[in-house]
Amino acid sequence: MKIAIISDLHSNIEALQACLDKARALNVEQYVCLGDIVGYGPDPAAILELVTSLPNVVVIRGNHEEALFGAYYKGLRQHIQQTIDWTKQQLSEAQLNYLQALPYQQNVQGMTMVHATADRPEKWGYLYNIELARKCMSASDTKLIFVGHTHQPQVFYETPSKEIKCLTPQAGVKIPVYQQGRYVINVGSVGQPRDDNNAASFVVYDTDERELLFCRVAYEYAVTAKKIVDRGLPALFAERLAKGH
Amino acid sequence: MTDEIEIHEVELGETIDGFHVQECIHESQVSTLYRVSHPEHDVPLIMKVPKISVILPSSVFAGFETEMRILAKLRGVYTPRIFGKGDLASAPYYVMEYVAGTELQDAVKRGPLPVDTICQLMVPVCKAIHEMHRHNIIHLDLKPDNIRNRTDGHVVLLDFGTAHQSQLPDMYTVAHERQPITMDYVAPEQLFAVRTDSRSDIYAIGAILYELATGRAPFPGANMLTVKKRLYISPKPPCAINPEIPPWLQEVILKCLEIRPADRFPTAKEIAYCLAHPNMVRLTERARITRRPGPVAILKNWLSNREFNFVGQTETQPQNRLGTAPHILIAVKLVHSSEELKCSMRDAIMKIAMAEKHSYFTCLSILPKESFTSRDSVEDFVNLSHPKHIQTQAELRHWLEPMKLAKSRLNIQVFYGDPAGEVVNYANQFAVDHIIMCAHRSEGAKKTVGSVPTRVIAEAPCSVTIVRSRQDKINKEQ
């Protein structure tokens, strides 16, 4: 069975649609969304509708969903707060209720799905090095942990001798999930990549072949960028779509 | 947490997924090999089963899985073909073709061997290793025992248990190091656990060449205690053991065995090229030395390599390194080419020569059978002494002279036979990266060689550029 894991969509419906086309072509049967569906981008209501319509979809809470409701909002910079306020106005009450009920973490077919890290997920820590990957693995009892949040695709894996190594995945190269290894897989960002590559990023995991496929999909970011500016959202969020960082 | 592995104990006489287990043919510390048969596969097959027990590190199993995945990725061109595999959690095994030929293993035992025999054996081995590097796979345990051949002579590389694939997770761990690795072929940087440099395999090629040429290993009797000597002591020059070894072969062998990876050949295809074209080997001090460097040089080596950071040198993926010294094949037939076309061709070659500073060129002209009269002696032609052969070589050299390419970058070859077939064969044999050839204008030429570019484009293993002269095209239209 093929599962697509998407994260950090950030209201970028053009990027998501391009990713879904690719996922369908790969015969994906289930979707997991690791959160941050909203924030930064111009289409929060439409993208949430699209996400919830995906087959067998499991959705996890991201920090941008948390910011719609909790104290987390207060710690954000002003221009991000401005986007959160605008996003809240675009969503229906039912949609807000749906987002408020999202879990921090969920087990899907024996795999941990979490937005930032399995190590105290509600703290929204950034997992960017081997030590943090070790803490994440220690906090979970599954072989595979899928995360997002940093917007940078990465694979941390533990060898049989408990050494943790890091791999920067290449798009289109299938990465085997070894019987004897444990993995923390950062799937990158659909709607706002930050690894100097402006193509949308997501992962397809083939549970039969036990292989991860990192996908990069080019999309018309200029359309999204124009919408951001037209809707009065900070221009910075439009500019970074082209740069990919 | 990690899954518990249930070991399926394979028994003689049982049938697993259609494979009938016939006999145990080899047992090592980490795996067992069984001869098996299958009603749908009419080739000799063997089943490899990992040993999993509490006394063996679990990384042994990771090595088994690494090998299985690499063999599946390489699809059996230079590796054994895979015919089946079991579920890793419940019945870990895979079935591959049995490759019986032990030509290289046998040859090493007969060493020292004549130079021609060494080249004949090692050119295809280098080609196989080059193809493996093309897939970003570094073997790290190359030795004659792991290089076999099919009945058609095709070289097959075995035992990828400690191999590294630069785009994939590397499950190699300290525990792996307990596995026996033959010290005779281990590169200096491997002693620092460097696993990401394809030039470690180049060192192993050098060690095998050394053994074939001298009848002994570069560092005989190396073990865990003495192996570090190779960080500062060069091997005894091969000609000091076997005076029959020509300087060019000593140059090739010692260049492969350089202590620092950057001083070795960057790719295996360049070694294959040198072995097949000895006149192209650029001779240095290595070719001339007759004895090992003295104590002062050893001390100097020890001091400099003591500080040398082997670990920090190797982030280039093998595939990227392969592109740094492209081998360009210029397929040309001057007799059918106008002056304009010859100029256009030279321009195209010069652009590549300037853009790719480490590129090297083979200029190949094929004389078709039609140009050969019954009075000519085939033997003269084969021996490269036929007047037509000599004349064609002179014309090619004259045509190429304005480009001022260094002697070591340009090799001129004149063959006799089917033009397209010979060009494609050469490109296959020497891992050519790019073919440049002319589009001819004359109708006569079209009848005889006009189909050559079409066939080369269809059959070549690499990119093909067809050069056309704009003036020729205008002249033809007028």
Same domain, B111 and B242: yes
Coil, strand or helix at A237:
helix
Same domain, B303 and B205: yes
Same domain, B257 and B346: no
CATH for B399: 3.40.50.620
> What's the pLDDT band for B1 if we cut at 50, 70, 90?
very low
Phi, psi of A185 (to 5 degrees): -115, 115
What integer pLDDT is reported at residue B443 of this predicted model? Answer: 46
Helical packing angle, A13-25 and A44-52, nearest 10°: 20
B449 pLDDT more than 60: no
Considering only the beta carbons, identify the residue of A170, A173, A178 that sits closest to B62: A178
Considering only the beta carbons, identify the residue of A142, A178, A182 that sits closest to B65: A178
Closest CA to B137 of B61, B50, B208, B75: B75
Q: How many angstroms separate the CA atoms of A69 and A57, rounded?
A: 23
Query: H-helix or E-strand containing B351?
Result: helix B339-355
| B422 found inside a domain | yes
What integer pLDDT is reported at residue B264 of this predicted model? Answer: 94
Chain B CA closest to residue A139: B1
CATH for B28: 3.30.200.20
Q: How many angstroms separate the CA atoms of A62 and A195, rounded?
A: 20
What integer pLDDT is reported at residue B301 of this predicted model? Answer: 76
Q: Which of the two residues, B178 and B212, has the higher pLDDT score?
A: B212
Q: How many angstroms separate the CA atoms of A138 and B446, rounded?
A: 71
Q: For residues A159 and B172, is the Cβ–Cβ distance under 8 A? A: yes
Mean pLDDT for all residues in chain A: 96
The distance of A118 to chain B (nearest Cα, Å) reads 14
Phi, psi of B250 (to 5 degrees): -60, -40
Question: What are the distances in angstroms from CA A155 to CA A60, A175, A178, B65, B168?
Answer: 20, 9, 13, 19, 10
What integer pLDDT is reported at residue B31 of this predicted model? Answer: 87
What integer pLDDT is reported at residue B384 of this predicted model? Answer: 62
User: Tokens in use for B179?
Assistant: 């596995």
Q: How many angstroms separate the CA atoms of B276 and B273, rounded?
A: 5
Same domain, B137 and B111: yes
Tell me whether residues A160 and B1 touch, CB distance under 8 A. no
Closest CA to B217 of B81, B108, B310, B295: B108
Tell me whether residues A161 and B173 touch, CB distance under 8 A. yes
Domain count within chain B: 3
Identify the sign of the CA torsion A71, A72, A78, A83. Answer: negative
Chain B CA closest to residue A141: B1
A13 pLDDT more than 50: yes
pLDDT tens-digit map of A39-59: 999 999 999 999 999 999 999
Q: Which of B62, B97, B132 is the last residue of a domain?
A: B97
User: Tokens in use for A237?
Assistant: 């969020």
The distance of A75 to chain B (nearest Cα, Å) reads 35
Tell me whether residues B61 and A170 touch, CB distance under 8 A. no
Tell me whether residues A180 and B1 touch, CB distance under 8 A. no
What integer pLDDT is reported at residue B258 of this predicted model? Answer: 93
Highest averaged pLDDT of the listed ranges A104-108, B316-320, B430-434: A104-108
Tell me whether residues B1 and A163 touch, CB distance under 8 A. no
Q: How many angstroms separate the CA atoms of B23 and B398, rounded?
A: 64
What integer pLDDT is reported at residue B312 of this predicted model? Answer: 63
Phi, psi of A230 (to 5 degrees): -60, -30
| B1 found inside a domain | no
Q: How many angstroms separate the CA atoms of A66 and A205, rounded?
A: 27
| B5 found inside a domain | no
Contacts of B66 in chain A (CB under 8 A): 178
CATH for B168: 1.10.510.10
Considering only the beta carbons, identify the residue of B58, B167, B170 that sits closest to A180: B58
Residues 132-191 on A with a CB inside 8 Å of B are 141-143, 155, 157, 159-161, 163, 165, 167, 170, 173, 175-176, 178-183
Is the N-terminal amide bond of A193 cis, ω within 30° of 0? no
- Min mean pLDDT across A178-192, B63-77, B198-212, B289-303 is at B289-303
Contacts of A143 in chain B (CB under 8 A): 1-3
Closest CA to B215 of B287, B290, B114: B114
Q: For residues A68 and A103, is the Cβ–Cβ distance under 8 A? A: no
pLDDT tens-digit map of A68-88: 998 889 899 999 999 999 999
| B8 found inside a domain | no
The distance of A219 to chain B (nearest Cα, Å) reads 25
Q: For residues B56 and B74, is the Cβ–Cβ distance under 8 A? A: no
Same domain, B200 and B121: yes
pLDDT tens-digit map of B332-348: 888 777 888 888 999 99
Tell me whether residues B61 and A165 touch, CB distance under 8 A. no
Contacts of B170 in chain A (CB under 8 A): 159, 165
B200 pLDDT more than 70: yes
pLDDT tens-digit map of A178-205: 888 899 999 999 999 999 999 999 999 9
Q: How many angstroms separate the CA atoms of B126 and B146, rounded?
A: 13
Same domain, B282 and B344: no
Considering only the beta carbons, identify the residue of A155, A161, A175 that sits closest to B174: A161
The ipTM value here is 0.80
Same domain, B133 and B63: no
User: Tokens in use for B14?
Assistant: 């049982």
Burial class from Cβ neighbours inside 10 Å (0-12, 13-18, 19+) for residue B194 reads buried
Q: Which of B299, B322, B345 is the last residue of a domain?
A: B322
Contacts of A155 in chain B (CB under 8 A): 169
Q: For residues A102 and A59, is the Cβ–Cβ distance under 8 A? A: yes
Contacts of A178 in chain B (CB under 8 A): 62, 65-66, 169, 171
| B3 found inside a domain | no
Burial class from Cβ neighbours inside 10 Å (0-12, 13-18, 19+) for residue B274 reads buried
Considering only the beta carbons, identify the residue of B57, B169, B174 that sits closest to A178: B169
pLDDT tens-digit map of B285-326: 999 998 887 888 878 877 777 666 666 655 567 777 677 788
> What's the pLDDT band for B2 if we cut at 50, 70, 90?
very low
Q: Which of B301, B322, B343 is the last residue of a domain?
A: B322
| B9 found inside a domain | no
What is the interface size between A and B, counted as CB pairs within 8 Å? 71
Tell me whether residues B62 and A179 touch, CB distance under 8 A. yes
CB atoms inside a 10 Å sphere around CB A61: 24
DSSP secondary structure code for residue A91 in this structure: S
Tell me whether residues B171 and A178 touch, CB distance under 8 A. yes
Q: How many angstroms separate the CA atoms of B310 and A112, rounded?
A: 38
Highest averaged pLDDT of the listed ranges B4-13, B300-309, B422-431: B422-431
Q: How many angstroms separate the CA atoms of A89 and A86, rounded?
A: 5
Range of the domain at B349: 326-477
Closest CA to B67 of B158, B180, B189, B181: B158
Closest CA to B56 of B156, B218, B179, B144: B179
Tell me whether residues B69 and A176 touch, CB distance under 8 A. yes
User: What's at B398, amino acid-wise?
Assistant: H
| B383 found inside a domain | yes
Q: How many angstroms separate the CA atoms of B219 and B360, rounded?
A: 33
The distance of B2 to chain A (nearest Cα, Å) reads 6
Same domain, B65 and B43: yes
Same domain, B112 and B215: yes
B172 CB within 8 Å of a chain A CB: yes
Q: For residues A195 and A153, is the Cβ–Cβ distance under 8 A? A: yes
Contacts of A163 in chain B (CB under 8 A): 173-174
Tell me whether residues A161 and B89 touch, CB distance under 8 A. no
Same domain, B169 and B294: yes
Same domain, B314 and B348: no
CB atoms inside a 10 Å sphere around CB B367: 20
Phi, psi of B95 (to 5 degrees): -115, 130
User: Tokens in use for B57?
Assistant: 């590190």
CA B323-B327-B329 angle, to 5 degrees, is: 140
- Burial state string for A32-46 with b = 16 or more CB within 10 A and e = fewer than 16: bbbbbbbbbbbbbbe
Residues 260-299 on B with a CB inside 8 Å of A are none
pLDDT tens-digit map of B162-183: 899 888 888 876 545 555 567 8
Identify the sign of the CA torsion A11, A16, A17, A20. Answer: negative
Coil, strand or helix at A59:
strand
User: Which residues lie below 8 Å from residue A19, measured CB to CB, with a gap of 6+?
Assistant: A4, A6, A190, A200, A202, A215, A217, A219
pTM (2 d.p.): 0.83
Same domain, B152 and B40: no
Tell me whether residues B59 and A159 touch, CB distance under 8 A. yes
Q: For residues B194 and B100, is the Cβ–Cβ distance under 8 A? A: no
User: Which residues lie below 8 Å from residue B295, measured CB to CB, with a gap of 6+?
Assistant: none
User: What's at B4, amino acid-wise?
Assistant: E
Query: H-helix or E-strand containing B105?
Result: helix B103-110
DSSP secondary structure code for residue B266 in this structure: S
Considering only the beta carbons, identify the residue of B62, B167, B168 that sits closest to A180: B62
Closest CA to B464 of B437, B443, B440, B439: B437
Beta bridge partners of B209: none
User: Which residues lie below 8 Å from residue A151, measured CB to CB, with a gap of 6+?
Assistant: A8, A188, A189, A192, A193, A194, A195
User: Tokens in use for B4?
Assistant: 């518990």
Torsion of CA B114, B120, B126, B131, to 10 degrees: -170
| B7 found inside a domain | no
Disruptive mutation site among A107, A142, A156, A161 for chain B (greatest number of B CBs within 10 Å) = A161
Residues 68-127 on B with a CB inside 8 Å of A are 69, 88-89, 92
